[in-house]
Amino acid sequence: MKRKIKEISNAFKTKFMKAITTQNIDLSYFKPVLVTFIMLISLGSCKDFLTEELKGSFSSETFFQNDKQAIQAVNGVYDAIAFNSFGNALWIFGDVASDDAVKGGNPGDQSEITYIDEFNADANNGIISNYWAFTYEAISRANNVIANVPNVPMEEELKNRIIGEAKFLRAYSYFNLVNVFGKVPLKLLPQQNQATIHVPLSDISAIYQQIEKDLSDAAIVLPLSYNAPDKGRITKSAALAMLGKARIYQQKWSEALSSFQQVEALGIYRLLTDYADNFKIAFENSEESIFEIQHKTGSNPFTGNALNQWFAPPAEGGYYFNAPTQSLVDAFERSVTGEADPRLDASVGRDGQPWLNGDLFSATWSPTGFLTKKHQQPLSEIPSSLKGDGDLNYIYLRYADLLLMKAEAFNETGKADSAIVNLNKVRQRARNSFDGEIPSDLLADITTTDQNQLRTAIRKERRVELAQEFHRFFDLMRWGKAEAEAALGQDFDFDTKRHFPIPQAETDANQGINP
């Protein structure tokens, strides 16, 4: 090829030189020019010229080569469940939609939340669409890990652990989805083509089946604990506890108990002495914490907790959302002398009571007169200029919750004695958290063995123990029509409002739902 070009160009050159010297062109010069022209064309048709590979970015073909990348991929899944973005609206569903809180904030700010609070939200509600996409993002990332990591050449134990972590996170995400929306598309494969993108709705039972399967798989491969640099990853006991929780939500009481017994058998968890410590930076990843979502301030990329700003009073540069209701405040027990359950002041800012910075809370900071005290840090830890970049983790599942779920399962299976033991452990710790001399009638042990009375007591206990931790609405829904309608009032019709509408954009675009 090269030689031919040379020959032709030489021939062309001689003729060309002649042409220049004689200044006389005739048609015979046309030939070499045309040949050169054709040469240039054939040069262009070379395949290489038109092939450009992706530079500087990974694709799924070039990623997933070794253990480091497998770890990076699963870290990305964790990122998708954190409270570092507003998409994570778990608090809106868990608390604002419940009887514990209202939207709060400036009336005009985020008004779409109001529709959720009033059960007036339609399929185009922005909060709903955002949360849907947010949760599926975690599922997508988990699916990519679960599908691709098995092919990565790496140490088997680590590989299994990573897949186990991803399965837990997928199960956690589906658990939230099924409880907010009911039937949802069950996507388990990387969304690379029409078949894996357009997936129809699955029955609630099928989704729970997958959640249980993922959690069981995860529990087999996950380690009991991690070394310091990996602290915060999902453990075996977290998978078991989550499995128990998923079973509680299906009223599979004895199966749930068996999961919880496995957790207890590992003997890892205990209640912290002071209830309030659970929500302090110094007690992160404590012995009470089973599954904790991690945040860290001052990182780039951002890994902070945005709730620190969303819930804070205006004077600190906060947006004062998720404002607790009087009804929640009233749910806390008081002694005859009026001393409140110490968990009240650990959970809710009230007029004239000490606030996080040692200053006194003012009712004018909130449209309800209350603000949540959890998920927030004092200005000494995070100055108001960095308000949105909080350091505090969020504990999704703590040992007290597990004890209360155990109590509930025991009670529902007719084992009142065992139920009381677990319930009173929680009450005892609450009682002991009282600052000063404990009033004798405050948070006394529950003694009734009547199933109904005990049920009421356990439910009441869950409300105050887990107040403002984004569980209330989901508890109300699983307790059923009577409990839910009693708590949520006339706005709420259990049969039509138990689940929030699937986003319109999903119904429009998902050919699995709308063929």
**Among 4, 107, 157, 493, interactor with other proteins by CB under 8 A:** 107
- Please list every residue from 133 through 152 that binds other proteins, using CB under 8 A: 133, 136-141, 144
Residues 92 and 128 sit within 8 Å (Cβ to Cβ) = no
- What is the smallest separation between the CB atom of 65 and other proteins, expressed in angstroms? 11
- Please list every residue from 286 through 305 that binds other proteins, using CB under 8 A: 294-296, 298-301, 303
Phi, psi at residue 398, to the nearest 5°? -120, 170
Kindly state the helix (H) or strand (E) to which residue 289 belongs, with its residue range: strand 289-293
- Please list every residue from 78 through 97 that binds other proteins, using CB under 8 A: 78-80, 82
Residue closer to other proteins, measured from CB, 125 or 179 = 125
Which residues are paired to 293 by β-bridges? 394
Asked whether position 1 contacts other proteins by CB under 8 A, the answer is no
**Among 10, 106, 251, 357, interactor with other proteins by CB under 8 A:** 106
Q: Which residues of 160-190 are buried (b: 16+ CB within 10 A; e: fewer)?
A: bbbbbbbbbbbbbbbbbbbbbbbbbbbbeeb
Residue closer to other proteins, measured from CB, 235 or 422 = 235
Kindly state the helix (H) or strand (E) to which residue 398 belongs, with its residue range: strand 394-398
- Please list every residue from 9 through 38 that binds other proteins, using CB under 8 A: 19-20, 23, 25-27, 29-30, 33-34, 37
Q: CA 316 to CA 439: how far, in whole Å? A: 35
- Please list every residue from 424 through 453 that binds other proteins, using CB under 8 A: none
Selected range binding other proteins among 4-12, 127-135, 407-415, 467-475, rule: CB under 8 A: 127-135
Residues near other proteins (CB under 8 A), total: 115
Q: Which residues of 24-51 are buried (b: 16+ CB within 10 A; e: fewer)?
A: eeeeeeeebeebeeeeeeeeeeeeeeee
**Among 35, 158, 197, 438, interactor with other proteins by CB under 8 A:** 197
Asked whether position 129 contacts other proteins by CB under 8 A, the answer is yes
Tokens representing residue 230 in the block: 């990996």
The amino acid that residue 71 corresponds to is: I
Phi, psi at residue 444, to the nearest 5°? -60, 155
Which residues are paired to 372 by β-bridges? 348
Residue closer to other proteins, measured from CB, 150 or 383 = 383
Q: What angle do CA 54, 47, 53 make, to 5 degrees?
A: 5
**Among 189, 276, 277, 317, interactor with other proteins by CB under 8 A:** 317
What does the per-residue mask of binding to other proteins show for 334-373, with x meaning CB under 8 A?
A: -----------------------------xx--xxx----
**Among 2, 3, 54, 495, interactor with other proteins by CB under 8 A:** 54
Q: CA 245 to CA 285: how far, in whole Å? A: 20
Asked whether position 259 contacts other proteins by CB under 8 A, the answer is no
